[in-house]
Structures are given as structure tokens and as C-alpha cells.
Amino acid sequence: MKRIISFFVTVIVLSGVMLVSTPGLLDKVRLGLDLKGGFEILYEATPLVEGQAVTQESLNSTAQSLEKRANVLGTSEPEVTTEGSNRIRLKIAGVTDEAEVRKKMKEPANLTFRSAPNGGIEQTDFTQVELLGSDFKENGAEVVYNTLNKPEISIQVNDKNKFAEVTKRLIGKELAIFLDETMLSAPTVQAELTDGKAQITGSYSIDEANNLRDTINLGALPLSLTEKYSQSVGATLGKQSLDKTIIAGLTASVLILIFMIGIYRLPGLLASFALILHTWLLILVFVLADFTLTLPGIAAFILGIGMAVDANIITNERIREEMRNGRSVMSSVKAGNKNSFRTILDSNITTIIVAGVMYAYGSGAVKGFALVLIIEIVLSIATNVYFSHWLITLLVKSGLLKKPKQFGVKESEIRAL
């Protein structure tokens, strides 16, 4: 009696928890760009000046600048990560004007001060870079008005001494200000500048001046970036994929559950319950660990249900086999649980090996798929092996499950000992 009660309490409490929490959990699952729209770009970083190396430091600060920019542009949840020694992956969701954002992310503010070692005032004459984008103060640019009430842009450098040294050396020569490869102005250095400020003059309208200030203020990128790989998904298309795939998943799951109950009767019902618990736990892990669910991830989810059921099939087949050999229900269940465990472990570890390799070598979506697969296998052992075994044993011991018929084994199939 005690066992019956603990069985029903477990099932009812778990069902209740799952039923109540699932809608909230589903809302909290972080969806990948392929499911809600957005874009992902893999940049390769190269130094601004040829011959220099990309350091981990400059890579990190470039990534930080990108993230700041994305935030300034008002995009939601920008995600910037560095990869390897010279790559940066950028993910931005829910963008309406993708082209604009992409342009702004990469283009602006490779601000440099350059001198012309061989003299001259043409853009091509300025080959010597004196100050790099990273030497300028962030958010240090502002629009000021000169004595003629013309707008100018005032910029600040981080290191006053360095700036003083440069200006001292170049007194009487031109020090050109470049935004990327465009020369903004080429003023002649009149005196050593010790306050770390410089003015960009030119015949700018107020709008132009404001624009230039914003561009510079977005943060100077210490490295220049080229796109190596990009994926962009429209919001509508993402939603479509999500809906379609969920319908596919639900249909498949329901059929699998019906199949299990049809073949294995009451133990099949228990297996189905374990399978639902397994899926719920998987969602829980995703929410708690804040993983991003992508389309391949959902595919792994659904395929995983098909595979997780394997543990139950192996166990139940084994139990039936023991019964056909004439064992009692109780000892069949015991032997079935015990003998099936090693098989399940062996077969799952090989799958984990493959998934681990996929995770190590894959990029983006492949990693997501592999991760789901690994978590799924680990959870499957907890739910479809331990929990399933426990439920079945509880029912058998309580006497609710005592006839071979309840396992789908006909009396005629049982061999006499």
C-alpha cells in the first residue's frame, strides 16, 4: 500500500510540476537567430597597420568595441565572442535594418593620425601612422564651434605625452587625420600639443559634424575586420521554421508514445512518463544554463526522443525475454533492469564520443546540435534508466504489476522451466 501511494504521489506531483511550469519555461528558452530572426557574422581580424600582429588583447578590445556599438545601435541581446586567435563572432537578434547595422558595426572609426615622411599633402603621401584608433579616448569626440562659428570636431587622446611627442616632432609639418582610408583634414602642426586634444577642421555642416562625432564616438576598432561567414534570417522565416519544427516534433513524440504504450502496455506507459519527464528536464537545463536553442538543436531534441526511448525498449524487451524463459515477474524485472543497464551504457557512451567530437570540431549550429545530444543522453540515463527502473520496480513490488500479460507477454509464449 505504501508503495502504491508513493508511486501515485510521485507521478501526480511530477505531472503537476511539469504542467504548471512548462509554459513559463518555454517562454524563457533562449531561441537562436535561425528561429527568431537576426544575423550572425564571423569576422576575421587583421591589424590596421601591415606587419603588426593581432594580439589577444587587441582582439578582446575589438570585441568589446563591437558589443558597445551594438548596444548603442539599440539592438537586442548582442552577443560577441572571440574565437581562436583572430576571429570574432557576432550575433544580433531582431534587427529591422540589417544592412545599416552591419555597416555601422564594421565600418566606422578606424581613426588614425598619419604623417608624410617624404613630405607632400596628398592623401597617398601620408604613409606613416602616428596614432592608432585605440589611442583615442572613447566618447571623447564632441562638436565645438570655432571663432567663425563653424562646427569642428574636437577629439581627445588617451596618452597626452605620446601626443605631445608626436606633435613636437612634427611641428611645421602636416599631421593628417584619417577615418579609415579617408583623409578628413590635414592641419599643419603649429605647436606642441600638451592637453591631449586635437581639432578636426573642415567645411562641415552641423549635421555632418554631428554625424562624424557619432561615428568616432562609436569606438575606434583596434583591428580591421573582414566577414568570413555570415548567416542572416528574416524574423518571419525564423518563426515559420520554429512553428513547423515544433509541430513535427509533437507529432513524432505523440506517435512514439502511442507506439510504446501499444507494444509494452503498462510498462510502456511508465516509459512514456519517463520520456516526458526527460523532455521537461531538458528544457529546464536549457533555461537554467541559459543555452541558446537553434533549429538543429530542436532537431537533436526530437531525434533524441526517438533515441532515448531505446533505453526503455532495451529494458522492456529484456524483461519480456526473462519472462518467456519462465522467470517470475519480480525476478524478470530485476534481471531485466540489471542486464540491460550495461548495454545501455555502452551504446550511449559511443554516441557521446561522437557528439563530443562534433562539439569540439563543429562551429555554431553544429555545436548546438552536439550539445543537445550530449545533455540528452546524460538525462536519458537518469530518467529512462534509473527513474524508469524505479517506477517499474515500485509497481511490481506493490502488486499492481504482477501478470506477464501486463507486460505484453502471452502465457503461451512462456517456456516451462
Partner 1 sequence: MHFKKDFDFVHVSKYFYMISIVLTIVGVICLSVFGLNFGVDFKAGSNVDVSLSKSLTISDINPIIEEIGVAEGTSITPGENRVNIRFNEVLTEDHDKQLKEAILKLDSTASFEVNTVDTQMAKELARNAIYAVLLSCIGIIIYVSIRFEWRFALAAILALVHDAFLVITVFSIFQLEVELIFITAVLTIIGYSINDTIVIFDRIRENLRFAKLKTDEDLVVVVNKSVNQTIKRSLYTALTVFIAAFFLFMFGGESIKMFSLAMVIGLLFGAYSSIFIASPFWLLLKGKQKNTKVGKAS
CB of 206 to partner 1, least distance (A): 28
**Site size with partner 1, rule: CB under 8 A:** 74
CB of 59 to partner 1, least distance (A): 17
Q: Are 272 and 258 in contact (CB under 8 A)?
A: no
- Strand bridging mode 128-131 / 142-145: unpaired
CB of 240 to partner 1, least distance (A): 6
The footprint of partner 1 on residues 14-43 (CB under 8 A) is 34, 37, 42
The footprint of partner 1 on residues 276-295 (CB under 8 A) is 295
Q: Is 94 in the site for partner 1 (CB under 8 A)?
A: no
- Write the CB contacts of 39 (distance below 8 Å, at least 6 apart in sequence): 33, 91, 92, 95, 98, 102, 230, 231, 232, 233
> What does the alpha-carbon distance between residue 260 and residue 258 come to, in Å, rounded to a whole number?
5
Q: In the complex with partner 1, which residue's Cβ is closer, 132 or 371?
A: 371
Q: Is 305 in the site for partner 1 (CB under 8 A)?
A: yes
Q: In the complex with partner 1, which residue's Cβ is closer, 319 or 401?
A: 319
Strand boundaries in 211-347, DSSP class E: 223-233, 292-293
Q: Are 177 and 184 in contact (CB under 8 A)?
A: yes
CB of 351 to partner 1, least distance (A): 4
Interacting residue with partner 1 among 236, 290, 411, 415 (CB under 8 A) = 236
Q: Is 269 in the site for partner 1 (CB under 8 A)?
A: no
Q: In the complex with partner 1, which residue's Cβ is closer, 11 or 358?
A: 358
Interacting residue with partner 1 among 201, 343, 398, 406 (CB under 8 A) = 343
Q: How far is CA 57 from CA 62, 111, 145, 355, in A?
A: 9, 19, 37, 32
Question: Nearest to residue 146, comparing CAs of 87, 99, 112, 187?
Answer: 187
CB of 398 to partner 1, least distance (A): 27
> 318-321, long-range: CB within 8 Å, 24+ apart, which pairs?
319/267, 319/392, 319/407, 320/407, 320/408, 320/409
Q: What binding mask, one character per residue, do residues 112-151 give for partner 1 by CB under 8 A, x or -? A: ----------------------------------------
Stretch of residues binding partner 1 (CB under 8 A), selected from 16-24, 61-69, 182-190, 337-345: 337-345
- Write the CB contacts of 170 (distance below 8 Å, at least 6 apart in sequence): 115, 130, 189
Q: In the complex with partner 1, which residue's Cβ is closer, 17 or 248?
A: 248
Stretch of residues binding partner 1 (CB under 8 A), selected from 71-79, 228-236, 277-285, 383-391: 228-236
Q: Are 377 and 310 in contact (CB under 8 A)?
A: no
Interacting residue with partner 1 among 116, 179, 314, 396 (CB under 8 A) = 314
Q: Are 77 and 132 in contact (CB under 8 A)?
A: no
Cα dihedral 64/67/69/72 (nearest 10)? -120
Stretch of residues binding partner 1 (CB under 8 A), selected from 88-96, 198-206, 209-217, 368-376: 368-376
Q: Is 227 in the site for partner 1 (CB under 8 A)?
A: yes
- Strand bridging mode 38-47 / 223-233: antiparallel
Q: In the complex with partner 1, which residue's Cβ is closer, 165 or 243?
A: 243
- Other CB atoms within a 10 A radius of the CB of residue 247 amount to 10
Interacting residue with partner 1 among 230, 289, 326, 400 (CB under 8 A) = 230
Q: Is 247 in the site for partner 1 (CB under 8 A)?
A: yes
CB of 38 to partner 1, least distance (A): 11
CB of 135 to partner 1, least distance (A): 28
